Amino acid sequence: MPLPLPAPRGQAGYLSVRGARKVYNPGRDAIAVLRDVSFDVTSGEFVSILGASGCGKSTLLMMAAGLESITSGEIAIGGEPVRKPRPDVGIIFQDATLLPWETALRNVLFPIEIMRRSVAEYLPKAEELLALVGLGGFMHMKPSQLSGGMRQRVGICRALIHNPSLLLLDEPFSALDAITRDELNVALLEIWERYHQTALFVTHSIREAVYLSDRVIVLGGRPAGVAADIRIPFARPRPFSVGDTLEFNQICAVLREHIASGHKAAAAQVA
């Protein structure tokens, strides 16, 4: 029975991004997306990458996942440069990307099958995870029988099944309605506070980033660089009502300012 391994916490620079650049179509039609992005994430930390859509934040995440090549610079996990997808990383994609012909339970166990580990060994954990996100009674249903929010809950479970130490989240809730989105933020935080992986969360929702994170990094400009890196001071476990406090809203305002100035800088560059 695999116990959820507590990630080694407090290891500074567990995830390190050093001078990451990304240029699509190098040559005459080159499109520079990221310029010299650098930051570190301590293990056990929840960091959000915030930016307008199309700013390259998903590209950054996919580079960390080893699914997208890096033009120059380096991204390292646990001191090891990322060259290809790693088994100690779990990814939650924008749409749940479930196999439509498999049940919720089989979808959660899919990484185990692909990694050729013992399904029987991970079955209790899959059931536990699904129960934890409130899908205990829906394990044997196919995705078409589940709502969008339920599907993404299955996606969360699937990303956690193989005990990854790093969780990469690519705007996982952007396709959901506002109410479902709030619910899933709470569910994600609950489950994260239990397993406490290092998490890199890409979003364009300021409130979502502030509610979930220990730190919020703002990407801005074109090509984008780190425009701000702000620590979020709220204690955990965090009630959802933290979003109603003055401090929360002040932080949101500061972040909004940073995003806007990034736009202005980009506009100035063009002009």
Partner 1 sequence: MADNAFAAKAAELIGAPSVPAMFAMLARTGRAIALPVLAGAVLVALWEFFCSYYAIRPVLLPAPSRVLATASRAWEILVENSIPTTVETVAGFLLSVVFGSLLAVAMVYSRWLREVLYPNIVLFQLIPKIAVAPLFIMWLGIEWQSRVTIAVFIAFFPIVISTWTGLMSADPSLLRLCRSLGASEWQMFARIRVPSSLPFAFNGMKISMTLSIIGVIVGEFITSQQGLGYVILFAGSKLETALVMSAILILCFIGLILYGIVGLIEWLVMRRYGA
Q: Does 114 bind partner 1 (CB under 8 A)?
A: yes
Q: Does 89 bind partner 1 (CB under 8 A)?
A: yes
Identify the three-state secondary structure at position 259: helix
Q: Does 141 bind partner 1 (CB under 8 A)?
A: yes
Q: Does 85 bind partner 1 (CB under 8 A)?
A: yes
Q: Does 143 bind partner 1 (CB under 8 A)?
A: yes
One-character DSSP codes across 39-103: EEE-TT-EEEEE--TTSSHHHHHHHHTTSS--SEEEEEETTEE--S--TTEEEE-SS----TTS-
CB 82 within 8 Å of CB 66: yes
Query: Using CB under 8 A, which of the segments 72-80, 111-119, 196-204, 208-216 binds partner 1?
Result: 111-119
Name the residue nearer to partner 1 (CB basis): 8 or 85: 85
**Backbone dihedral region of 221: left (phi > 0), alpha (psi from -120 to 50 degrees) or beta?**
left
Q: Does 101 bind partner 1 (CB under 8 A)?
A: yes
Closest CA to 98 of 63, 135, 68: 135
Q: Across the strands, what pairs with 32?
A: 23
Q: Does 145 bind partner 1 (CB under 8 A)?
A: yes
- Contact with partner 1 (CB under 8 A): which of 36, 74, 95, 214? 95
Give, for 154, the enclosing helix (H) or strand (E).
Answer: helix 148-160
**Angle, CA of 34, 155 and 189, to the nearest 5°:** 80
Count interface residues toward partner 1 (CB under 8 A).
Answer: 25
Query: Using CB under 8 A, which of the segments 99-107, 174-182, 193-201, 231-239 binds partner 1?
Result: 99-107
Instruction: State how far the Cα of 130 lies from the Cα of 137, in Å rounded to an integer.
Output: 9
Amino acid at 6: P
Name the residue nearer to partner 1 (CB basis): 18 or 117: 117
* Cα 125 from chain centroid (whole Å): 21
Name the residue nearer to partner 1 (CB basis): 144 or 241: 144
Instruction: State how far the Cα of 218 lies from the Cα of 221, in Å rounded to an integer.
Output: 10
Q: How far is the CB of 93 from partner 1 (least distance, A)?
A: 6
Name the residue nearer to partner 1 (CB basis): 134 or 239: 134
Contact partners, residue 186, CB within 8 Å, separation at least 6? 240
Query: Using CB under 8 A, which of the segments 40-48, 51-59, 85-93, 217-225 binds partner 1?
Result: 85-93
Site string for partner 1, 43-82 (x = CB under 8 A): ----------------------xxx---------------
Name the residue nearer to partner 1 (CB basis): 65 or 232: 65
Q: How far is the CB of 137 from partner 1 (least distance, A)?
A: 9
Q: How far is the CB of 36 from partner 1 (least distance, A)?
A: 26
Residues in the chain, total? 271
Please report, as ranges, the residues that interact with partner 1 according to CB under 8 A: 65-67, 84-87, 89, 91, 93, 95, 97, 99-101, 110-111, 113-115, 141-145
